[in-house]
Structure 1
Amino acid sequence: MDEMKGIRWKQRFENFEKSFKLLEKYSKEPISTELERVGIIQFFETTFELAWKVLKDYLEAEGYVARSPREAIKQAFQAEIIEDGHLWMEALSKRNLTIHTYDQELAEKLVKEIQKQFLPILRNLYDKLLKDR
Protein backbone atom coordinates (compact mmCIF):
# COMPACT_ATOMS: atom_id res chain seq x y z
CA MET A 1 0.00 0.00 0.00
CA ASP A 2 1.35 3.39 -1.00
CA GLU A 3 1.84 5.28 2.29
CA MET A 4 0.47 8.64 1.05
CA LYS A 5 -2.55 6.96 -0.56
CA GLY A 6 -3.09 5.01 2.65
CA ILE A 7 -3.12 8.24 4.61
CA ARG A 8 -5.55 9.85 2.13
CA TRP A 9 -8.24 7.19 2.49
CA LYS A 10 -7.90 7.30 6.27
CA GLN A 11 -8.36 11.06 6.29
CA ARG A 12 -11.38 10.78 3.98
CA PHE A 13 -12.72 8.00 6.22
CA GLU A 14 -12.82 10.43 9.16
CA ASN A 15 -15.18 12.72 7.22
CA PHE A 16 -17.25 9.76 6.05
CA GLU A 17 -17.46 8.53 9.64
CA LYS A 18 -18.79 11.88 10.93
CA SER A 19 -21.40 12.12 8.20
CA PHE A 20 -22.41 8.46 8.49
CA LYS A 21 -22.91 8.73 12.25
CA LEU A 22 -25.16 11.77 11.84
CA LEU A 23 -27.19 10.02 9.13
CA GLU A 24 -27.51 6.94 11.30
CA LYS A 25 -28.46 8.96 14.39
CA TYR A 26 -31.18 11.01 12.74
CA SER A 27 -32.52 8.14 10.62
CA LYS A 28 -33.53 6.39 13.83
CA GLU A 29 -35.70 9.33 14.90
CA PRO A 30 -39.32 9.67 13.77
CA ILE A 31 -39.37 11.71 10.56
CA SER A 32 -42.61 13.55 9.95
CA THR A 33 -41.91 17.05 8.65
CA GLU A 34 -40.65 18.21 5.30
CA LEU A 35 -37.60 19.76 6.98
CA GLU A 36 -36.72 16.42 8.61
CA ARG A 37 -37.09 14.57 5.29
CA VAL A 38 -34.92 17.11 3.49
CA GLY A 39 -32.34 16.85 6.27
CA ILE A 40 -32.14 13.05 6.04
CA ILE A 41 -31.87 13.22 2.27
CA GLN A 42 -29.08 15.82 2.54
CA PHE A 43 -27.22 13.65 5.07
CA PHE A 44 -27.63 10.71 2.68
CA GLU A 45 -26.30 12.70 -0.28
CA THR A 46 -23.26 13.85 1.69
CA THR A 47 -22.60 10.45 3.25
CA PHE A 48 -22.93 8.66 -0.07
CA GLU A 49 -20.59 11.14 -1.76
CA LEU A 50 -17.99 10.58 0.96
CA ALA A 51 -18.56 6.81 0.81
CA TRP A 52 -17.71 6.47 -2.87
CA LYS A 53 -14.75 8.82 -2.48
CA VAL A 54 -13.34 6.87 0.45
CA LEU A 55 -13.84 3.70 -1.62
CA LYS A 56 -11.94 5.32 -4.48
CA ASP A 57 -9.06 6.35 -2.19
CA TYR A 58 -9.00 2.94 -0.51
CA LEU A 59 -8.91 1.18 -3.88
CA GLU A 60 -6.10 3.45 -5.09
CA ALA A 61 -4.11 2.64 -1.95
CA GLU A 62 -4.57 -1.03 -2.85
CA GLY A 63 -3.34 -0.44 -6.42
CA TYR A 64 -6.67 -0.18 -8.27
CA VAL A 65 -7.90 2.71 -10.41
CA ALA A 66 -11.41 4.17 -10.16
CA ARG A 67 -12.26 7.51 -11.69
CA SER A 68 -16.00 7.73 -11.09
CA PRO A 69 -18.54 6.62 -8.50
CA ARG A 70 -19.71 3.83 -10.80
CA GLU A 71 -16.15 2.56 -11.33
CA ALA A 72 -15.39 2.76 -7.61
CA ILE A 73 -18.51 0.76 -6.75
CA LYS A 74 -17.83 -1.89 -9.41
CA GLN A 75 -14.19 -2.23 -8.40
CA ALA A 76 -15.03 -2.34 -4.67
CA PHE A 77 -17.60 -5.07 -5.32
CA GLN A 78 -15.13 -7.11 -7.38
CA ALA A 79 -12.48 -6.68 -4.66
CA GLU A 80 -15.10 -7.80 -2.07
CA ILE A 81 -14.86 -4.55 -0.12
CA ILE A 82 -18.61 -4.07 -0.46
CA GLU A 83 -21.48 -6.48 -0.86
CA ASP A 84 -24.59 -6.08 -2.99
CA GLY A 85 -23.21 -4.04 -5.87
CA HIS A 86 -26.71 -3.67 -7.34
CA LEU A 87 -27.98 -1.94 -4.21
CA TRP A 88 -24.95 0.37 -4.25
CA MET A 89 -25.77 1.25 -7.87
CA GLU A 90 -29.38 1.90 -6.84
CA ALA A 91 -28.15 4.20 -4.05
CA LEU A 92 -25.97 6.03 -6.60
CA SER A 93 -28.96 6.44 -8.90
CA LYS A 94 -31.12 7.80 -6.07
CA ARG A 95 -28.36 10.15 -4.94
CA ASN A 96 -28.09 11.49 -8.49
CA LEU A 97 -31.87 11.94 -8.69
CA THR A 98 -32.14 13.82 -5.40
CA ILE A 99 -29.47 16.30 -6.40
CA HIS A 100 -31.54 17.45 -9.38
CA THR A 101 -35.14 17.17 -8.18
CA TYR A 102 -37.33 17.52 -5.17
CA ASP A 103 -40.79 16.03 -4.95
CA GLN A 104 -42.54 15.38 -1.64
CA GLU A 105 -43.77 11.91 -2.63
CA LEU A 106 -40.32 10.95 -3.88
CA ALA A 107 -38.76 12.35 -0.69
CA GLU A 108 -41.03 10.27 1.54
CA LYS A 109 -40.23 7.12 -0.43
CA LEU A 110 -36.51 7.88 -0.47
CA VAL A 111 -36.34 8.40 3.29
CA LYS A 112 -37.77 4.89 3.76
CA GLU A 113 -35.22 3.48 1.29
CA ILE A 114 -32.42 5.28 3.09
CA GLN A 115 -33.50 3.85 6.43
CA LYS A 116 -34.18 0.28 5.28
CA GLN A 117 -31.77 -0.31 2.39
CA PHE A 118 -29.03 2.28 2.04
CA LEU A 119 -28.13 2.82 5.69
CA PRO A 120 -27.28 -0.90 6.14
CA ILE A 121 -24.90 -0.95 3.17
CA LEU A 122 -23.23 2.22 4.40
CA ARG A 123 -22.98 0.60 7.86
CA ASN A 124 -21.26 -2.44 6.30
CA LEU A 125 -18.74 -0.20 4.55
CA TYR A 126 -18.15 1.77 7.73
CA ASP A 127 -17.54 -1.43 9.74
CA LYS A 128 -15.20 -2.86 7.09
CA LEU A 129 -13.08 0.27 6.78
CA LEU A 130 -13.02 0.84 10.53
CA LYS A 131 -11.30 -2.55 10.90
CA ASP A 132 -8.77 -1.69 8.18
CA ARG A 133 -8.01 1.77 9.53
Structure 2
Amino acid sequence: MNDAKLGQVFALLEAALLECEEEPQNALRLAALAKAFESTFGYVWKHFKREADQAGLETYSPRDALKAAAQLKLIDDLELWNQFLNARNLSVHDYLGMDDVVVVELVQKFRAEVQRLLD
Protein backbone atom coordinates (compact mmCIF):
# COMPACT_ATOMS: atom_id res chain seq x y z
CA MET A 1 0.00 0.00 0.00
CA ASN A 2 1.40 3.38 -0.96
CA ASP A 3 -0.69 6.17 0.51
CA ALA A 4 1.15 9.25 1.81
CA LYS A 5 -1.73 10.50 3.97
CA LEU A 6 -2.17 7.08 5.52
CA GLY A 7 1.53 7.10 6.34
CA GLN A 8 1.15 10.50 8.01
CA VAL A 9 -1.83 9.55 10.17
CA PHE A 10 -0.18 6.23 10.99
CA ALA A 11 2.87 8.12 12.29
CA LEU A 12 0.54 10.16 14.51
CA LEU A 13 -1.10 6.95 15.72
CA GLU A 14 2.27 5.51 16.65
CA ALA A 15 3.27 8.69 18.49
CA ALA A 16 -0.03 8.82 20.39
CA LEU A 17 0.28 5.15 21.28
CA LEU A 18 3.77 5.68 22.68
CA GLU A 19 2.47 8.55 24.80
CA CYS A 20 -0.38 6.41 26.15
CA GLU A 21 1.94 3.52 26.90
CA GLU A 22 4.07 5.91 28.98
CA GLU A 23 1.12 7.46 30.83
CA PRO A 24 -2.04 5.36 30.28
CA GLN A 25 -4.27 7.30 32.69
CA ASN A 26 -3.86 10.65 30.90
CA ALA A 27 -7.24 11.56 29.39
CA LEU A 28 -5.77 14.04 26.92
CA ARG A 29 -3.36 11.45 25.55
CA LEU A 30 -6.15 8.89 25.30
CA ALA A 31 -8.28 11.40 23.40
CA ALA A 32 -5.41 11.97 20.97
CA LEU A 33 -5.01 8.21 20.56
CA ALA A 34 -8.73 7.79 19.88
CA LYS A 35 -8.65 10.50 17.21
CA ALA A 36 -5.52 9.07 15.58
CA PHE A 37 -7.13 5.62 15.60
CA GLU A 38 -10.32 6.96 13.98
CA SER A 39 -8.37 8.80 11.29
CA THR A 40 -6.10 5.87 10.50
CA PHE A 41 -9.03 3.46 10.37
CA GLY A 42 -10.81 5.83 7.99
CA TYR A 43 -7.90 5.89 5.56
CA VAL A 44 -7.49 2.11 5.73
CA TRP A 45 -11.10 1.23 5.03
CA LYS A 46 -11.22 3.71 2.14
CA HIS A 47 -8.11 2.02 0.73
CA PHE A 48 -9.92 -1.32 1.00
CA LYS A 49 -12.92 0.22 -0.79
CA ARG A 50 -10.74 1.44 -3.67
CA GLU A 51 -9.16 -2.02 -3.99
CA ALA A 52 -12.60 -3.64 -3.96
CA ASP A 53 -13.91 -1.24 -6.59
CA GLN A 54 -10.94 -2.01 -8.84
CA ALA A 55 -11.68 -5.73 -8.41
CA GLY A 56 -15.33 -5.21 -9.34
CA LEU A 57 -16.69 -5.73 -5.83
CA GLU A 58 -19.37 -3.33 -4.63
CA THR A 59 -18.89 -1.80 -1.19
CA TYR A 60 -21.22 0.65 0.48
CA SER A 61 -19.91 0.75 4.03
CA PRO A 62 -16.78 0.16 6.06
CA ARG A 63 -18.07 -3.33 6.96
CA ASP A 64 -18.52 -4.13 3.25
CA ALA A 65 -15.01 -2.87 2.57
CA LEU A 66 -13.60 -5.13 5.29
CA LYS A 67 -15.40 -8.15 3.84
CA ALA A 68 -14.03 -7.30 0.41
CA ALA A 69 -10.52 -6.89 1.84
CA ALA A 70 -10.78 -10.38 3.30
CA GLN A 71 -11.99 -11.77 -0.05
CA LEU A 72 -9.07 -10.06 -1.78
CA LYS A 73 -6.65 -11.46 0.83
CA LEU A 74 -5.61 -7.96 1.94
CA ILE A 75 -6.38 -8.99 5.51
CA ASP A 76 -6.22 -12.37 7.22
CA ASP A 77 -8.54 -11.93 10.19
CA LEU A 78 -11.91 -10.42 9.33
CA GLU A 79 -13.16 -10.87 12.90
CA LEU A 80 -10.27 -8.80 14.26
CA TRP A 81 -10.92 -6.05 11.71
CA ASN A 82 -14.60 -6.06 12.69
CA GLN A 83 -13.45 -5.50 16.28
CA PHE A 84 -11.46 -2.51 15.04
CA LEU A 85 -14.56 -1.20 13.25
CA ASN A 86 -16.73 -1.64 16.34
CA ALA A 87 -14.11 0.13 18.46
CA ARG A 88 -13.92 2.95 15.92
CA ASN A 89 -17.70 3.32 16.02
CA LEU A 90 -17.68 3.37 19.81
CA SER A 91 -14.75 5.78 20.01
CA VAL A 92 -16.47 8.25 17.69
CA HIS A 93 -19.32 8.51 20.16
CA ASP A 94 -17.72 7.89 23.56
CA TYR A 95 -13.95 7.42 23.70
CA LEU A 96 -13.87 8.61 27.31
CA GLY A 97 -16.21 5.77 28.29
CA MET A 98 -13.92 3.04 26.98
CA ASP A 99 -11.58 1.20 29.34
CA ASP A 100 -8.10 2.74 29.01
CA VAL A 101 -6.20 -0.54 29.01
CA VAL A 102 -8.54 -2.11 26.45
CA VAL A 103 -8.18 0.89 24.15
CA VAL A 104 -4.39 0.80 24.25
CA GLU A 105 -4.28 -2.98 23.71
CA LEU A 106 -6.69 -2.80 20.78
CA VAL A 107 -4.75 0.03 19.15
CA GLN A 108 -1.54 -1.95 19.60
CA LYS A 109 -3.13 -4.81 17.61
CA PHE A 110 -4.43 -2.34 15.04
CA ARG A 111 -0.98 -0.77 14.67
CA ALA A 112 0.53 -4.19 13.93
CA GLU A 113 -2.11 -4.97 11.30
CA VAL A 114 -1.72 -1.61 9.57
CA GLN A 115 2.06 -1.91 9.66
CA ARG A 116 1.71 -5.25 7.87
CA LEU A 117 -0.36 -3.52 5.16
CA LEU A 118 2.20 -0.75 4.77
CA ASP A 119 5.16 -3.13 4.45
State TM-score, norm by structure 2.
0.85
Among residues 66, 74, 80, which one is paired with 2:73 in the alignment? 80
Of 11, 14, 18, 1:21 maps to 11
Mapped contact 2:41–2:88 kept (Cα < 8 A) = yes
1:126 aligned onto 2:83: no
Distance (whole Å) between structure 1 residues aligned to residue 98 and residue 12 of structure 2:
24
Structure 1, unaligned runs of 5 or more? 1-8, 128-133
Q: Which has the larger radius of gyration?
A: 1
Task: Extract structure 1 runs of 4+ deviating beyond 4 A.
Answer: none
- CA RMSD in angstroms, aligned pairs only: 1.9
Identity across the alignment (%): 31
What residue in structure 2 maps to residue 63 of structure 1?
A: 56
Q: Give the deviation of 1:105 after TM superposition.
A: 5.1
Question: Deviations for 1:76-125, whole angstroms, at most 9, x for unmatched residues?
Answer: 1011011111100000000000111133552442122212x111111122
Aligned partners of 2:16 and 2:33 also within 8 Å: yes
Q: CA deviation at 1:20?
A: 1.0
- TM score, norm. by length of structure 1: 0.77
Query: CA, structure 1 residues 39+79, in 2 after alignment: closer, same or farther (shift >3 Å)?
Result: same
1:31 Cα deviation after fit: 3.2
Name 2:23's counterpart in structure 1.
31
Structure 1 partner of 2:44: 51
